[in-house]
Structure 1
């Protein structure tokens, strides 16, 4: 074997195996006698071996870092999840929302769900079903960001104010207060887009969408006119969101307590997301019923220039406020709310956070967990 071939073969073997005895002994002793704990010492010894002998050892794969609960990154993740869950779902049900708004404004023309779709298809074609999708996407993305992000913030804030014992005892009040506080802020983001959306969807020829509809609306109603419907919007959305979050938390807790024998932490992620969707759908049905009268008011006020709540009640009637367009809205809001919770929790799982809700721990365990979180 010539010198070149011998050198080539040796280059394939780690140098410490055929190097000097002192280097060989040093490397093996360091590797065999290095203490596995703590990990920092192990890494230091491995680096020493590598530097002394030329042996390169790849570092072990570290587990991905999880987001710390209630940290700024946690609230940022909840905000991003809210954008996805609300913006995408509301945009997807734009055809249902379009028919619902027109049934509320002109029930003689849009007499039922099926006939409403037929009228829209005949007059505006398939493209007409997604009229107003841009203000819908932007408005409800902003609303979702504030709704979910601030809900998580206020839920933690009010829980800390109440303390572990009162939080466990009055948890439903915590959910109601947190969701109401979040929705007040969320509707400020939504209101201008909702005003333009309703006008675009219910007044033929007003505008094609947000880009030309917003300037026309401001020219007609003034900038403050964009917030003309803020009080009815609060009247619709605050009860809706309080029901949405409080009932969801209660439904999910009872599903894990009575319907699933396995503790939540031991359930698969797919099962947990299924529970989130089911809990969201049932909560959405309750939301639709509670908030429907105000929804009729919002549609009426944003469609009729200079109209008041009294005009709406006189025109629609008290019974009409509760019933007009309700079946369609139950289907729409149930599906919408179930999908929102599914998407929101799926995003939380994606970034390493637990899904929302579950069995509330007893006060002693909650207090211990609260102290641990502060450490």
Structure 2
């Protein structure tokens, strides 16, 4: 219960940045309303008020708890299976996971968790993009899910799933791999006197988590932009932020992931693939660092001996 409350509070604290990121990712390049993080937050405050900063946060909080639970559980199980197979193949019962194997375990965990909660993420994106000028307002997660099912069919709940899966591999995989590899390197080399024994300090582990978050989200970010844009395709009541007009069908239609990449780069340039990276970095890097450290601390408190690196 405490972990769930902590996750909800942390997500709520950065909700304005999360909404700003998504709005920057999907806004129509012919109708620019948000020119940056600060200007965009001020615009939302003026046009939608305080509540506008937190639009979509309820759905995000409902999604993040099962997503995190499934992700960490899946990582533990995938790590055990991969390690067992690796030891059998090498004949070394003392062998440990290599960075590449950790990357694979992390990727498996990310794909499973993302797929299990993807419909919630899809409607969360649409609720987040809604503005006061949208012709139809989703009343919440349940209303959004039922409306999408009724108007667009079940498959619509998984629009953008493919780039999400592809993005999860470097994102979650690199998060786990970089975090664990950095910890191992610090313990073995003890550079600059930062590590005195095999038990890293909370500050050092936070730094490892921050580095992991930076690498993972930078590599995978273009796929996140494409995912969000594909989620908006076919939305009959799209926000004017997306359409560039007063609602209606999304102006740019994508036939698939490759087509979305091609049209985005052709129409807006390569930099469009990193729209919203600044607010995303501000919230993601520290949150990933805290998530890893909290996970390990809780396991220590509960007396669970096996760590992620095992």
TM-score for both structures, normalised by structure 1: 0.66
SS in 2 for 1:264: coil
* 8 Å contact kept, 2:83–2:96: no
What is the aligned partner in structure 1 of residue 24 from structure 2? Answer: 103
- How far the C-alpha of 1:201 sits from its partner, in A, is 0.9
Confirm or deny that 1:173 pairs with 2:100: yes
Confirm or deny that 1:128 pairs with 2:62: no
| Bigger Cα displacement from structure 2, 219-228 vs 189-198 | 219-228
Confirm or deny that 1:146 pairs with 2:75: no
What is the aligned partner in structure 1 of residue 303 from structure 2? Answer: 352
- 1:318-362 C-alpha deviation (Å, 9 max, x unpaired): 61354322222222221221121122123212212358467x8xx
Change (3 A) 1:229 1:215: same
Equivalent in 293, 316, 320 of residue 264 of structure 2: 316
Runs of 5+ unmatched residues, structure 2: 235-252
- How far the C-alpha of 1:255 sits from its partner, in A, is 2.6
SS in 1 for 2:170: helix
What is the aligned partner in structure 2 of residue 334 from structure 1? Answer: 285
Equivalent in 86, 109, 118 of residue 182 of structure 1: 109
Confirm or deny that 1:229 pairs with 2:160: yes
* 8 Å contact kept, 1:81–1:344: no
Please give the alpha-carbon distance, in whole angstroms, between the structure 1 residues aligned to 2:302 and 2:282.
31
Please give the alpha-carbon distance, in whole angstroms, between the structure 2 residues aligned to 1:274 and 1:93.
21
- 1:111-139 C-alpha deviation (Å, 9 max, x unpaired): 10001101111111111111111221122
Please give the alpha-carbon distance, in whole angstroms, between the structure 1 residues aligned to 2:124 and 2:103.
28
- 1:28-70 C-alpha deviation (Å, 9 max, x unpaired): xxxxxxxxxxxxxxxxxxxxxxxxxxxxxxxxxxxxxxxxxxx
Instruction: Give the number of equivalent residue pairs.
Output: 275
Runs of 5+ unmatched residues, structure 1: 1-79, 361-375
Please give the alpha-carbon distance, in whole angstroms, between the structure 2 residues aligned to 1:188 and 1:87.
21
Confirm or deny that 1:247 pairs with 2:194: no
Please give the alpha-carbon distance, in whole angstroms, between the structure 2 residues aligned to 1:132 and 1:344.
26
What is the aligned partner in structure 2 of residue 307 from structure 1? Answer: 254
* 8 Å contact kept, 1:82–1:144: no
- What are the equivalent positions in structure 2 for 1:1-375 lying under 5 Å apart? 89-106=10-27, 108-163=32-87, 165=92, 168=95, 171-204=98-131, 205=134, 206-257=137-188, 258-259=190-191, 260-265=194-199, 271=201, 273-305=202-234, 307-308=254-255, 309-317=257-265, 319-353=270-304, 356=307
Larger radius of gyration: 1
- How far the C-alpha of 1:149 sits from its partner, in A, is 0.7
* 8 Å contact kept, 1:85–1:144: no
Please give the alpha-carbon distance, in whole angstroms, between the structure 2 residues aligned to 1:159 and 1:82.
28
* 8 Å contact kept, 1:81–1:145: no
- 1:184-243 C-alpha deviation (Å, 9 max, x unpaired): 211112210111011111132432431322222222221221112211211222210011
